[in-house]
């Protein structure tokens, strides 16, 4: 079977649902999305610049700006409609710029103290993603990646699979989300982004901490550059 390319999958998943994204992510994660993003923010040290990859509608980007109002923040996303929604939320006091670009092809002439991303690892080749992050990272910089994970314990897996089976049925009635609710669990089950990204970061001389959250349904990987 020919596997769908990740770029095609991203277009299929996000091409037609930007307007409802924030409501859907909050409802389907039972509000855990906000908690996971707060956990990402907690791991950002004092910094002058932050790159938020796959920023989407900017939920995390604006939270970072709230905590670090003096930092220069750049949000990058590959889906134009998501970025348009993020840009609509900008105020003159924000030091945020949004760029339409592919995180796996990114080549900015700026380096950042911190690189964050919520929900990108499963859509990227881990080697390319980490290589691009390291390219854009300042000495002493930090990479903080977050995404869903497939729980390890059998009873939790049972609940997790049941939940996604229900979501798949509900998805038929939610415009723009049918494909995501159907195919997201397969993608999460097939990925082992935490171990892969952790290994690559460690081989590149980073100190890495993996923290699993909400009964192992998601994880945050924090890598700090040794100097
Ligand atoms: C589930 S949304 C997450 C948005 C945001 N990070 C958040 O947590 O609310 C996933 C986003 O990843 C973006 N994306 C996927 N692959 C990407 C890539 N290679 N480069 C940039 N953005 C990407 C999609 O366009 C989409 O906006």
Ligand 1 pocket, mutate which of 5, 25, 54, 85 (most atoms under 8 A from CB): 54
pLDDT tens column, 192-217: 999 999 999 999 999 999 999 999 99
Per-residue pLDDT band for 3 (boundaries 50, 70, 90) equals: low
pLDDT tens column, 157-169: 999 999 999 999 9
pLDDT at 109: 96
SS (H, E, C) the chain: CCCCCHHHHHHHHHCCCHHHHHHHHHHHCCCHHHHHHHHHHHCCCCCCEEEEECCCCCHHHHHHHHHCCCCEEEEEECCHHHHHHHHHCCCCCCCEEEEECCHHHCCCCCCEEEEEEECCHHHCCHHHHHHHHHHCEEEEEEEEEEEECCCCCHHHHHHHHHHHHHHHHHHCCCCCCHHHHHHHHHHHHHCCHHHHHHHHHHHCCEEEEEEEECCCCEEEEEEEECC
Assign domain 6-225 to its CATH superfamily.
Vaccinia Virus protein VP39 (3.40.50.150)
- 218, pLDDT greater than 50: yes
- 180, pLDDT greater than 90: yes
% of the chain beyond a pLDDT of 90: 96
- Residue range 89-102: average pLDDT? 97
- 1, pLDDT greater than 50: no
Helix 154-171 to helix 178-190 angle (10° resolution) is: 160
- Residue range 76-85: average pLDDT? 98
- 176, pLDDT greater than 80: yes
Ligand 1 centroid, distance to 185 Cα (angstroms): 17
- Residue range 45-53: average pLDDT? 96
Per-residue pLDDT band for 225 (boundaries 50, 70, 90) equals: confident
> How many Cβ atoms are within 10 Å of 1's Cβ, its own excluded?
3
118 lines ligand 1 (CB under 6 A): yes
- 219, pLDDT greater than 50: yes
Sequence spans of domains, the chain: 6-225
103 lines ligand 1 (CB under 6 A): yes
| Angle made by CA atoms 37, 42, 44, in degrees to the nearest 5 | 100
> Residue 195 has which token pair?
């171990």
> How many Cβ atoms are within 10 Å of 49's Cβ, its own excluded?
19
User: What's the chain's average pLDDT?
Assistant: 96
Nearest atom in ligand 1 to 104's CA: 19
Ligand 1 pocket, mutate which of 13, 51, 77, 177 (most atoms under 8 A from CB): 77
| Cα 183 off chain centre by | 17
Q: Which long-range contacts (CB under 8 A, 24 or more apart) does 28-34 make?
A: 28/167, 32/213, 32/214, 32/217, 32/218, 33/59
pLDDT at 226: 79
86 lines ligand 1 (CB under 6 A): no
**pTM of the complete model:** 0.96
- Residue range 106-118: average pLDDT? 98
């Amino acid at each position: 079977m020919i596997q769908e390319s990740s770029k095609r999958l991203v277009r299929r998943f996000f091409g037609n649902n930007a307007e409802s994204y924030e409501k859907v992510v909050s409802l389907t994660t039972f509000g855990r999305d906000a908690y996971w993003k707060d956990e990402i923010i907690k791991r950002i040290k004092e910094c002058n610049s932050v790159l938020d990859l796959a920023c989407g509608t900017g939920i995390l980007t604006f939270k970072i700006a709230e905590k670090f109002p003096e930092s220069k923040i750049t949000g990058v996303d590959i889906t134009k409609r998501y970025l348009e929604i993020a840009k609509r939320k900008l105020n003159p006091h924000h030091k945020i710029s949004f760029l339409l670009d592919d995180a796996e092809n990114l080549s900015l002439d700026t380096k950042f103290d911190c690189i964050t991303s919520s929900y990108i690892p499963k859509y990227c080749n881990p080697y390319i993603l980490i290589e691009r992050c390291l390219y854009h990272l300042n000495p002493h910089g930090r990479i903080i990646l977050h995404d869903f994970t497939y729980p390890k314990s059998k009873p939790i897996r049972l609940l997790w699979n049941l939940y996604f089976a229900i979501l798949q049925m509900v998805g038929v009635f939610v415009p723009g989300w049918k494909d995501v609710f159907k195919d997201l669990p397969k993608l999460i089950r097939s990925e082992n982004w935490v171990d892969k990204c952790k290994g690559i970061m460690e081989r590149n001389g980073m100190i890495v901490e993996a923290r699993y959250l909400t009964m192992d349904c998601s994880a945050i990987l924090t890598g700090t550059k040794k100097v």
